[in-house]
Amino acid sequence: MASTEDEHRSRLASTAGRLAFFPARAAVRASREQLDDVLVPELVRLLDRALAGPLPEEVVRAAVRHNVAERVASELVATGALDRAVEQALASPHSSRLTEQVLKSEQMRTAIREVVESPEVRTALARQTTGLAEELVGEVRVRAVALDERIDRRDRVATTPYAGVATRALALAADAGIVLLIFLTVAALVGLVSSLVGDLRPQWLVGVLLGSGWALLAGGYFLMFWTGTGQTPGMRLLHLRLIGRGGRPPSLGWSLLRAVGTVIAIIPIFAGYLPVLFDDRRRGLPDFLAGTVVVYEDGQATAASRP
């Protein structure tokens, strides 16, 4: 009975409260639009003044001072939220379409073309290629010098400055390849010209011209480099040098005699170079005829000082 009376009193008090606040609520609802028209512009003006003042800078300084960005990033990483967000972004179809549009855009193609054609990239590629080639040639040179010592038939107490069979053979092969490339290029040009004016006749004349051209080209190649610098391109790759009488490159006459001796040494299955294995200065038949020696570049001074 007492509880029923308490509930009745509570409902009466609640009803009385609602009736008491009803005028205030009605006034608020009636003036809400007027409050919005007055309050919102004033808040906007206050926010604009705050942003125009030093407040943004102070907020940024405080964030930096308290490592807010690092703490947020650490929390994102620790919870895995950053990984999930990145994975979702990459897996979304919108990202795929955007990436495809960027890659196919003319601006991207222009940027890639400018980067590839830039002097910096060309210089880096050339330096990388040159370094690789030098490293490869250097390794071949070291192995060839070691092979020279291994197949030498004389017991030597000290290292000799004179080049052996392996290094000389590699240098000669490189020079022969260069001469062949030049000859093929010239022959192709001659063939192109002859196709425009008519084929050469008879066939034996073509053979004679090709053989003579090869002999003249090879002879001129070796004579020019032997006489000029004492070093052909193939010898330069292997760091070899030809020394004549007096420690200098041979003259044109001696170079011509050496060229003849080279042909004679090559004809009987390179038998003319067998003395290199036994001679104290590793000389072959061409060297005996022309009075020359082939030395390693780092031993040139030692070889030139010997009689």
**In this structure, how many other beta carbons lie within 10 angstroms of the beta carbon of residue 243?**
21
pLDDT at 10: 62
3-state secondary structure of 164: coil
List the chain pLDDT tens, one digit each, 307 residues.
555 666 666 665 555 555 555 555 555 455 555 555 666 677 777 777 777 777 778 877 887 888 878 888 788 788 888 788 778 877 778 777 887 887 788 887 887 777 777 787 777 767 776 677 778 888 888 898 888 888 887 766 567 889 999 999 999 999 999 999 999 998 888 878 777 766 666 777 767 878 888 899 999 999 999 999 999 999 999 999 999 988 899 999 999 999 999 999 998 888 999 999 889 899 999 999 999 999 998 765 455 555 5
The total number of structural domains that make up the chain: 1
pTM: 0.58
pLDDT at 70: 82
Does residue 56 form part of some domain?
Answer: no
Does residue 215 form part of some domain?
Answer: yes
The set of residues, in sequence order, having a beta carbon less than 8 Å from that of 285 and lying 6+ positions away, is: 261, 264, 265, 272, 273, 275
Does residue 259 form part of some domain?
Answer: yes
* Full residue range of the structural domain in which residue 270 is found: 136-305
pLDDT at 152: 81
Task: Output phi, psi for 241, to 5 deg.
Answer: -145, 145
Does residue 41 form part of some domain?
Answer: no
Interatomic CA distance for residues 90 and 84, integer angstroms: 10
> H/E element holding 17?
helix 2-52
**In this structure, how many other beta carbons lie within 10 angstroms of the beta carbon of residue 233?**
14
Query: Among the residues of 105-251, which ranges form H helices?
Result: 106-116, 119-151, 165-197, 203-228, 233-237
Interatomic CA distance for residues 212 and 220, integer angstroms: 12
Does residue 299 form part of some domain?
Answer: yes
pLDDT at 258: 94
Does residue 142 form part of some domain?
Answer: yes
Does residue 110 form part of some domain?
Answer: no
How many Å separate Cα 297 from the centre of its chain?
30
